[in-house]
Amino acid sequence: MKIKLATAFSGIGAIEQAFIRLGIKHDIVFACDNGEIMLKQSTEELKKEFKEGNITNPQTFIKTKYKETGKTNWMKKSYFANYKISESKWHDDIRFIDGNKYFGKVDLFVGGSPCQSFSSVGFQGGLEDARGTLFYEYARLIDEIKPKVFIYENVRAVTSHDGG
């Protein structure tokens, strides 16, 4: 039996690497990492821009944003260098994932949204920082996907910042 694994804020794929080292058979259902360029816009701003651009495919929208800025999603490059995954299983921005598409298809969902908004070594912008709101997207996906198990990792201050 293989574990059906999905990850958000996938980074270099720590859970995938752990599974490989432990010999745990798994299939990657999807992986996602926002990279850097999109994190400065709020979800509302980003989705408004997407809608106004009359673009129907979120991946095309995000790729266009990268092209316009001349930046590279190094997280994606690193992930693809380490794991056999197709473009169709990769998402460039958690805010555009339709979790309903994965309902009943994920055993384990793992993620840890950017911690800079809450960490004592970050700017501690909390929910005023667009990165600080991304954990709501992770929670939304848990609700839509209904994985058998989920693991959410972050810094301790995520539960006490902005009045808890």
Annotated catalytic residues are 115
CB 13 within 8 Å of CB 83: yes
Within 8 A by CB and 6+ apart from 46, the residues are 38, 93, 95
Residues shown for the chain: 164
- Whole-angstrom distance, CA of residue 29 vs CA of residue 107: 9
CB 83 within 8 Å of CB 16: yes
- Whole-angstrom distance, CA of residue 91 vs CA of residue 102: 13
